[in-house]
Amino acid sequence: MFGKTKSKAWKQLENIYKHFQNTQMKDLFAADAKRGSKYCLQLENMLFDYSKNRINDEVMQALLALAEERQLKEKIVAMFSGKKINVTENRAVLHIALRNRQNTPIYVDGRDVMPQINEVLERIKDFSEDVRNGRFTGYTGKKLTNIVNIGIGGSDLGPFMATQALRHYWAKDIKCYFISNIDGTSCAEVLNNIDPETTLFIVASKTFTTIETLTNAKTCRKWLIDALGEHAVAKHFIALSTNKEEVEKFGINPDNMFAFWDFVGGRYSMWSAIGMIIAIAVGYKNFERMLEGANAMDRHFAEADLAQNIPVISALIGIWYNNFYNIHRYAVVPYDQYLQYLPAYLQQLDMESNGKAVTMDNKFVDYATGPVLFGGAGTNVQHSFFQLLHQGTEVVPVDFIIPAISHNEIGSHQPILIANVLAQGEALMQGKTEQEAITELQKSGKSKAEIERLKKYKTFSGNRPSNTIVLKKIDPYSLGMLVAMYEHKVYVQGVIWNINSFDQFGVELGKKLANNILPELEGRAFGAEHDSSTANLINHIKKIRK
């Protein structure tokens, strides 16, 4: 497909790039008054404007031909039908089943998975509402109002991002906390701010053996026992896991263990029992609305023509930049404070999924795969990395996200926010020529000498691409749509690159080596073989800690 034997569609795109690479977007806009509406897609209350990209009809047709060549339609069907597309682990990939609101059967190994999914969702509903309504109480009979999620990776980033994004919908007496980092500070800062009598700990670990999660959970368990006694554990801890034996050993009532499955990867799991803290914080009806929003995007992804398919178009434009312009990075900038943690969540979704160098055919790639993703909340980041976006030597495509309506319509705040996001996209695309800079400086009364000195500093190259995603409001439904859009975008790119987006073996090596180093740091083992740098660092740190 790629590499030394390039496909027909790939070669076509290389040829197009040769004569298109220096095309200016502002010239494309000048030549087509309808470009803004032409390169724009809408699904319900989501508008996806991709007109500010270095594309034209020829480019898009060639990218779509690449998708057809890679049998993208068939690969989408394969995922939705429960085929084991995670080939390295021989697993189906069915986060889409978790939000299958039509409840159509989805089979894995001949068995419909929907009954077990619905059973767990019903249990999430009952338990979350019991906590919210005070029917499930702590050991001393007090209502549980401090909810602490203990997890890491997908068991933390998704629930954390979603609860913060939906902060407006929290029950007034509920407070949510998250412990993920093995750094003791992560535990201490939470435990110093909560009351053991009113705290529920949610331990999220499929295997119930994840060292970071279990270390943090044991610290919290000891803290609770010191305050209320060992019998309190069963009333203040629940587990999101499949390891019943270890859950019971910990002291958790197995009736309060909520399962999820190996066809749900960690970074795709907030729609499952891993989303328990979301359901408690915002209520099950709102959690369900989030599932419904994701399902709407799922149906769009599965049913829409590729040329009208938001995740597909977003993914193909990313391929265009990554593999032909050699731009191996992009930024996600939500202009909404509630979405401030979305970029961190998407970092894991994208970079853990597509940060791969081996194909589905078990060969090393010789082309670029997953890009680097970074971002932050606008307008804050306009005063940090936007200088590089506008005038740096690195071109960085941007996804701008903006709700038309804020949950907090105070004075002119939202119009100013919207004006900023629209202006940034326009400025990145248009730039400012040297002559425009000279004219501007003349109008400001600068002398000829000053103009000559400043004109280059005031020049912006422009032609820097962006997508703009407009939502009506950041509510559970729109959040579900937005996250599902990025999930499917990542899958499409994995299909094009012929890599498995659903394993994460790269996470494991460092953890394994850490387990070798730990006994040496604690003085329980000596003489393990390390490179001289690591050995020297171990000795230096041991001396300090003495």
Structural fold of domain 8-69+304-430+467-503: Rossmann fold (3.40.50)
pLDDT over 90 at 529, yes or no: no
pLDDT over 70 at 82, yes or no: yes
Report strand pairing: 466-471 vs 46-49. Answer: antiparallel
pLDDT over 70 at 303, yes or no: yes
Percentage of the residues of the chain whose pLDDT score is greater than 70: 99
Convert the pLDDT of each residue in 478-521 to its tens digit: 999 999 999 999 999 999 999 999 999 998 888 888 888 998 88
Looking at residue 407, its pLDDT comes to 97
**Segments making up each domain of the chain, as ranges:** 8-69+304-430+467-503, 98-287, 431-464, 506-545
| Under 8 Å between Cβ of 526 and 516 | no
Looking at residue 2, its pLDDT comes to 52
Convert the pLDDT of each residue in 258-287 to its tens digit: 998 999 999 999 999 999 999 999 999 999
Q: How far apart are CA 61 and CA 58, in angstroms?
A: 5
Looking at residue 5, its pLDDT comes to 57
pLDDT over 70 at 527, yes or no: no
Among 231, 233, 265, 258, which Cα is nearest to 243's?
A: 258
Looking at residue 515, its pLDDT comes to 86
> How many residues appear in the chain?
546
Q: Which residues are catalytic?
A: 352, 383, 511
Average pLDDT over residues 442-451: 96
What pTM, to 2 d.p., does this model score?
0.96
Among 39, 85, 53, 83, which Cα is nearest to 495's?
A: 85
pLDDT over 50 at 326, yes or no: yes
**Residue 416 CB coordination number (10 Å):** 10
Looking at residue 4, its pLDDT comes to 46
**Residue 31 CB coordination number (10 Å):** 9
pLDDT over 70 at 3, yes or no: no
pLDDT over 90 at 524, yes or no: no
Q: How far apart are CA 523 and CA 521, in angstroms?
A: 6
Looking at residue 523, its pLDDT comes to 83
Q: Which residue type is seen at 499?
A: I
The CATH number given to 98-287 is: 3.40.50.10490
pLDDT over 90 at 546, yes or no: no
pLDDT over 90 at 6, yes or no: no
